[in-house]
Amino acid sequence: MIKEYSVKIGEYLACELSLDQRNKNITVFGLEVIIGAIVKSCVFLVIAFSLGVFYEALAVTIVKSSLRWVAGGPHCSSFFNCTIVSSSLIFGFTWIGFLLADIILLKQSMIAVFLFALAVNLLYAPSDPPQKPINNPGKKILLKLVVCAQLAGYMLIVNLNILPSDIACCILMGILLESLTLFPPGAGLIQRLDQLMTRSSERRCAA
C-alpha cells in the first residue's frame, strides 16, 4: 500500500515538475522511505506508550538502528513484513531488558555482550545487500572500524553508571539484537519469518 501511494504521488510530482524517469524513480523511493518512517514511528509510539516502556524501547531502537546503519543486516521482502518483524524484535528485547534490569549483573553482562558483538561485527560486518554491494575493501575496513568504535562508545556509557539500570540494560539489548541479526543463524531466522509471512499473505489473497 505504501509503495502504491508513493508511486501515485511520485507520478503526480513527476508530471508537475517535468521529471525524467531517473528522477521520478528517486522521488518515488524517497517518498516510500519517508512515508514508511512515519508509519513505523506511529506504530512505535502506540506500542511503546501502551506497554509503558517508551524510554527503554527508544534506547533499544537508537542503539540497534545506529549499529545497523553502519553494519547492515538482513532485509524483509515487504514493508509490512519489515514493520512486523522489526517491531516484534525491538519490543521483545525491550521487555527482556526491562525485566532483567534488576536481576542480571550489569558489568559481567556488558563484557559478554561486548565480546560477542565485537566478534560478530569483525567477522560479518558490513552486511551489504545484493542490490548495493560494497566492492571497495577499504570502505569495508572503515565500516568495521566505525562499528567497533560505536560498540566501545556504548560500552563506555553503560560502564559509567550514569543511566538507570533498565536503560543501561536496554542499551545492551540493542547491541545484542543487532549482533544476533547480523549473525548468520539470526539472519536466517529473519529470512524464514519473512518467507512465512509472505506465504501466509499470499494464501489470504488467494482465498
Nearest CA to 46 among 98, 85, 87, 86? 87
Q: Average model confidence (pLDDT) for the chain?
A: 88
Rounded distance between C-alpha atoms, residue 19 and residue 64, angstroms = 36
Please tell me which residue, 112 or 35, carries the higher pLDDT value: 112
pLDDT tens figures, 159-187: 998 999 999 999 999 999 999 999 999 99
Residue 16 has pLDDT above 90, yes or no: no
Amino acid at 55: Y
Which residues of 103-195 form beta strands (DSSP E)? none
pLDDT at 15: 86
Percent of the chain clearing pLDDT 90 (strictly above): 57
- pTM higher than 0.95 for the full model? no
Give the up-direction half-sphere exposure of residue 49: CA atoms within 13 A in the CB hemisphere: 5
Nearest CA to 182 among 144, 126, 114? 126
